Structure formats: structure tokens, C-alpha cells
Amino acid sequence: MNGNRILFDEHGRLRSGLRFAFFALTFFFALALSGSLAWLAAFLLAGRSAEATNHLLAGPVGLIVQSVIMLTSATLLGWFCGRIFENLPFRALGWDLRPGWWRDLLRGSALGAASLFLAVIIAWLAGSVRFAANHSSSSANVLRTLLLTLVTFILAAAAEEATFRGYPLQTLLRSLPVWIAIVPSSLAFALVHLANPHAAPGFTLINTFLAGVWLSVAYLRARNLWFPLGAHWAWNWTQGAVLGLPVSGITRLTESSLLRTQEVGPDWLTGGAYGIEGGFACTLALIASTIVLARPSRLTRSQGEISAR
């Protein structure tokens, strides 16, 4: 009896922490399996050359493939967990095309771009960044970069939103106070980014965790994934394709950006080779943007949500 109370709540549902753990473990297994199959397929297409395969997967095509795999795995597994553990329909994940979904996407996009610009402006006011036109790339290459990264960053952001603000966050929100429920997925979001190139000690973990909190609050404002998706992709696209800054340490996708932003200040402020996300200017911008979003009346559980502990 006591064992059952530890595993299940008074409604007979598996407790939220165990639901979270089940999703995480199953997701990583599915991702590893799908990723291995994708690498094998790319290996065969690349003429059975491991070097050519790795080169292919390191570019935009590889990121798109990885994002599609991640998005599909997180969405299907999130639907499956919601169905078997909490008897929830697919629309509970937040991807349904309910009235106004596109307005949430546009508003989120405006928020993401504005928040990124705020971080850069803070660094600029401190005399730590300079802007210049990109004269080293042709107009055709700049346009191609803007359009290709538009697709790439939307898919990558959708994959991460489904993974971190999808079922794992939502199932904890149905049983825990908001500011406790958002910690596990935000911390996981931060830890994953530590593997990125030029990760800045301290600030990478802190700022990516704050970004996870910011995007979680964005989800809570709209109760769908379209709003945080907009904020996420627009932040990355503005940062990389428009301003020419590294996106979490990655530069290979935006070599022909619209502008060239040169960092001339201390790394602790600008983020250095990791990009603005690795500096204190980003910390201030994320805190400010989260405060604007975090209206207490909008962050309480809606009456229609189930109570599943």
C-alpha cells in the first residue's frame, strides 16, 4: 500500500516526477536510435565515407535532419505519455492550430527579437560591440543565409520547445507550483548547451537556465508552444543571420550574415566566442524580459487543467 502511494497519487496516476523521468529516459533512447539510423543513411549517401558523412551532418542539412528527428520524437512521445498516464488528447501538448495560434507565434517572434536586441544594446552602451555592414559577402549569399537560417532556426527551436517546454514541463505544471515546476526542464536545457563550442564557464549555464525559465514563462502566458517557439527562433535568427553573432557558440550557419557585429569589450559582458548568450549583457536582458512576461495572474494553473501528482 505504501509502495503504491509513493508511485501513484490518490487518482491512481503515476506521479509527475516519475512521468518526467519516464519521458526523459525514453526520449534519449529514441533519439539515440533515430540518430544512429540517420547517420547510417547519411553514411550510405555520402559514399560510405565517415569524413564526408560527418561533414554533411555538421552543416545546415545535418541540423535540419537532427531537428526533425528531435521534434518528431519529442512530440510523439509527449502525446504517448500524456495519453497513457493522464488521458490527455494530442492538443494538450500545445501544437494544435487553435484560433489565434499565428498571433502567438508573431508576438513571440517580436519578443525574441526585441529581447536579443536589448542584450546587444546593453553591450553597445558599454562600448563593447561595434556594428558594420557585411561587405565580404554578396547580396545573394546574404539573402540565401537569411532564408535558409529562417527555416533552420524555426525547426531547431521547435525541436527544443517540444523537448523542454512540451510534455516534461507541462506534466510537472499539473502538480507542482509554477516556480518549482519550471526548474527541471530549464536546468536540463542549460546542461545540454554546455557541450556547444566555446561554452563560457558559468555564464553559459546561468544564461541558458534563465533562457529556459524565460521560455517556460512564455509558454505559461499563452498555454501553447507557438509563443515560446516564436521567441526562441527569432532570438537565434536575429543574433546569427541579422547581426552575425555566434549562436550558442555556432557560427557555421551564418557566415554571410546581414551585419557584422564585432565584440571589443570583455568576454564576461559580451560572451566572447560563444556569443552574446555567454555574457552578463544577456543575463540582464533575459531577466528584464522575463519580468515583463511574468504577470502573476497569468502564471496560475488554469481551472481546466487536471490535478495529477
Does any domain span residue 18? yes
Q: For residue 102, with 0-12 CB atoms within 10 Å meaning exposed, 13-18 middle and 19 or more buried, which class applies?
A: exposed
Q: Would you list the DSSP string of 141-156?
A: HHHHHHHHHHHHHHHH
Does any domain span residue 303? no
Domain count, the chain: 1
Write out the three cell numbers for 140: 545573394
Nearest CA-CA partner of 246 in 158, 83, 138, 116: 116
Domain interval for residue 256: 2-298
Does any domain span residue 158? yes
Does any domain span residue 72? yes
Does any domain span residue 304? no
Residue 2: predicted pLDDT: 56
Residue 57: predicted pLDDT: 76
Q: Would you list the DSSP string of 165-216?
A: IIHHHHHHHTTS-HHHHHHHHHHHHHHHHTTSTTPPTTHHHHHHHHHHHHHH
Q: What distances in angstroms separate CA 230 from CA 226, 251, 264, one per listed residue?
A: 6, 21, 30
Residue 3: predicted pLDDT: 56
Helix (H, G, I), strand (E, B) or coil at 1: coil
Does any domain span residue 308? no
Low-confidence residues of the chain: pLDDT under 70: 1-4, 10, 296-309
Residue 58: predicted pLDDT: 73
Residue 50: predicted pLDDT: 80
The 10 Å CB-count burial string (b at 16+, else e) for 171-192 is bbbbbbebeebbbbbbbbbbee
Residue 189: predicted pLDDT: 97
Question: What residues contact 57, with CB distance under 8 A and at least 6 apart?
Answer: 38, 39, 42, 65, 66
Residue 35: predicted pLDDT: 86
Residue 230: predicted pLDDT: 98
Does any domain span residue 290? yes
Residue 201: predicted pLDDT: 80
Does any domain span residue 100? yes
The 10 Å CB-count burial string (b at 16+, else e) for 64-101 is bbbbbbbbebbbebbbebbeebbebeeebbbbeeeeeb
> What does pTM read for this prediction?
0.91
Q: Under a CB-based contact definition with an 8 Å cutoff, are residues 131 and 260 in contact?
A: yes
Residue 39: predicted pLDDT: 82
Write out the three cell numbers for 79: 502525446
Query: How far is residue 198's CA from residue 271's CA, in Å, rounded to a whole number?
Result: 9
Give phi and psi for 262, each to the nearest 5.
-100, 130
Residue 307: predicted pLDDT: 40
